[in-house]
Amino acid sequence: MATIRILLATFRRPHLLARALAGLRAQTFDDWICEVHNDDPADPEPEAIVERLQDPRIRYWRHERNLGVTATFNLMYAPTPEPLVSLLEDDNWWEPRLLETLRAVLEKHPEADVVWSNLRLWREEPDGSWTDLHQTVWPVPAAPGIRRFDWPETRQVTGHVHSNGAMLVRTRAASAHILPKDTAAGLTESVRERSYCHPLLLVEEPLANFAITRVTARAQERRKFFQQQVLLGGTFFRHHAPGGRFGRELFAAARIPPSRSTHVLVLGALQSRAGWRWLRFVRPADLMWCLAWAGRHPRDAFDGLSGRRRMSALWSYLDRHTALRSAQAASLPQSDDPPCRKS
């Protein structure tokens, strides 16, 4: 038994897997074990890379069939004796102090179950080289510290705040974080964040690197992604009263082009019996824009309105955990919340 168990997920990118493993082995905190999960049964390269390292902390698992992103990431939350777990995707890589820093933060903050690090962004070029974009996911202040997120943040209505490729999670409520199998690959963070006890803690210093790759072997699932964003909004609206400032900020952010998303919020409100209350933040121009969008994309509009029925397991998961987050925020938002431990 180690202090941290790491699931390293890989799929047809052996050259990137080697870089991810190098960053892991360079960690200043070394009491960890790593399971390398190869999601392409026909690819022998990951096993060869692990064997060459001869590191007893690193174990190799070849899936008998392709599981996909959601099922593979769910393996991170399987029962384990380690008190902490982490996920490392093959295209990302960590700075040496990541695990040491995140573990120290959780030790200092027993009320938190999740901590993650800011990430530096890199872009893959056609020749295989990497360009530092000199950007980070979160702004880095002059004196980086720990940023606390209490439920809810406006971006959590249809999205998320944490990054699963640079985080550390306590295992005491791990079973609650296993997602329904039809969760879209691009929404695993958004859906799972509903199951995390808050607060969530961000280390503002970038201690991990996020790769913007030229090619991905994963399916994009555009329509499924849209449907499930609507379900995220619908379950949020169902369990939260429409606060004035929060609602104004939420809909104002949704109006910003080019990624305008007022139609997602409107459809989400219509999914829930109580969601109509949030429609008071919709302006006439928003409604006209949504109707025009529905006229151009009738199939997407129908899918958005029928998602609750078609994806009942996902709706139930989101509904249950959103209710827990709402209850937590209403009762003990600034302290260790015992009911939250049972989620």
pLDDT at residue 25 is higher than 50: yes
Q: How many domains does the chain have?
A: 2
Nearest-angstrom CA–CA distance, 49 and 53: 7
Q: Are 277 and 242 in contact (CB under 8 A)?
A: yes
Do 232 and 199 fall into the same domain? no
- Asked if the structure places residue 176 within a domain, the reply is yes
- pLDDT tens-digit map of 250-276: 999 999 988 899 999 999 999 887 888
Asked whether the predicted pLDDT for residue 311 surpasses 60, the reply is yes
Residues 82 and 193 in one domain: yes
Res. 235: pLDDT tops 60: yes
pLDDT in tens, 56-70: 999 999 999 999 999
pLDDT confidence tier of residue 222, bands split at 50, 70 and 90:
confident
Residue 336's pLDDT is: 43
- What are 146-156's pLDDT values in tens digits? 999 999 999 99
Per residue in 192-210, pLDDT (tens digit) is: 999 999 999 999 999 999 9
Mean pLDDT of the chain: 93
Please give the pLDDT value at position 332. 58
Residues 121 and 242 in one domain: no
Give residue 197's domain range.
4-212
Q: What single-letter DSSP state applies at residue 245?
A: H
pLDDT (0 to 100) of residue 341: 36
Where is the domain boundary, 179, 212, 245? Answer: 212
Beta-carbon contacts of residue 337 (< 8 Å; ≥ 6 apart): 111, 197, 328, 331
Same domain assignment for residues 238 and 299: yes
Q: Look at residue 153 and tell me if it is in a domain.
A: yes
% of the chain surpassing 90 pLDDT: 87
Say if 317 falls within a structural domain: no
Residue 49 lies in a domain: yes
In this structure, the answer to whether residues 176 and 293 fall within a common structural domain is no
**Average pLDDT of span 172-180:** 94
Q: What 3-state DSSP class applies to 113?
A: coil
Q: Is 289 among the domain residues?
A: yes
